[in-house]
Copies of this chain bind each other. A is one copy, B any other.
């Protein structure tokens, strides 16, 4: 049997026992100090296989990890004595194949770098999670989404082929370059979104599309989030095929305006939509701007098609909602999802919960696909109050999400943070079959056990 030091001969890529850096005990929000066996940073598929075989010999549990930007605790050790396989050094862009419109990458490529690379060559990879420092491997593990999912779908829709190392060290390639398939079971989609519980992804072939040549943003103001949700539905029905419909409330924007030092272009109303359209040329977009404004005219207080400079400044405000908040308070970001017509009802319900539990709540999110980002704010609460009030509010919130036919996670994953709610919100028979499938691929429960379900 190969020893760890024989597999990873470069000492700078191996940390054992006490030498393991603190960062491996946490992700963005979750910290859990359970001393791990070792952290190894492979650079090749073969090293990943050897590490997995080593873990089998030693009977160690494995956690695969990328940039550590997760928010659900999925990559945090919870048992102690784990072998963490950090793939973030496997960061090569392997091949842009312009004849099949695909890009082959290793799992550690950062999503921001991937976007820059393909856009410089005239191509487009639509999924755009907020963290540009997340890895594509992590994006596949959580089926990451982002602002453009309403038109373009999520990571799932762009993975043509992926190679994984299974819990026993064997390799398997899922999917293919073929665009259509009716040739056996779809194993690929089982692995996408499985949060590192079925295999470790070592290579991914992504579908690209041509980069849209023109973009425009429309900013609309509404009296209430309910009216903004109604407008969203009208826009979706109109055929303009928006590439994004973001909703935020004035209360959430406040921090961003203060932080950036300039106001949103609209100062009326309590809720806003920012609607993105993209296409082949400005002429195409002009026609669609007219359609958007016409189908929403009974609902809006104001509607502005923004010029390029305005668009940049107003998007910066929207993107700054979180960053603005960090200056004022600690917070926790959720990613629940409901059917699109329940979006406003969910947001509205959080206001009663805010009163009931004495915990400030803000909301923004992807109205076009029903994904709300609810923010729980710690403000001046003590740790004890925060822990207690947070738990009580989350229980109410996920119960409401469930009543509305929603799910606990749209794009961040379940990890350990939402596992309890996932258990309550999922039919027993579905959970049972998920567990059975886990056992098919991982009979020893070696890969990221006790996460998700």
Write the residues of chain A forming the contact surface with B, with a CB cutoff of 8 angstroms: 98-101, 142-145, 149-150, 154, 156-157, 170-174, 176-187, 189-190, 192-194, 210-213, 233, 236-240, 279-281, 283-284, 287-288, 291, 335, 337-341, 366, 369-371, 405-414, 418, 422, 425-427, 429-431, 433-434, 436-438, 440-441, 452-453
Task: Decide if A185 touches B179 in the complex (CB within 8 Å).
Answer: no
* A407–B178 touching, CB < 8 Å: yes
Copy count, this protein chain: 2
Q: Does B237 contact A98, Cβ atoms closer than 8 Å?
A: yes
Q: Write the nearest CB–CB distance from A448 to chain B, whole angstroms.
A: 13
**A187, B100: Cβ atoms under 8 Å?**
no
Query: B180, A371: Cβ atoms under 8 Å?
Result: yes
Complex Cα distance, B291 from A281, in Å, reads 11
- Which listed residue, B143, B172, B238, touches A182 by the CB 8 Å rule? B143
Asked, given contacts A287-B283, A429-B170, whether A184 binds B412 with beta carbons under 8 Å apart, the answer is no
Closest to A99 in B: B341
When A100-B339, A212-B239, A213-B239 are in contact, do A186 and B189 touch as well, CB less than 8 Å? yes
A100-B340, A149-B179, A178-B407 known; A430-B238 Cβ under 8 A: no
Report the minimum CB–CB distance from A64 to chain B (whole Å): 16
CB distance B185 to A190 under 8 Å? yes
- The answer to whether residues A99 and B193 also contact, given A183-B414, A409-B182 and a CB cut-off of 8 A, is no
Residues of B with C-beta under 8 A to A433:
172, 187, 440-441
Across the interface, do A182 and B288 meet the contact criterion of CB distance under 8 Å?
no
B180 touching A149, Cβ below 8 Å: yes
A436 to B184 alpha-carbon distance, docked (Å) = 13
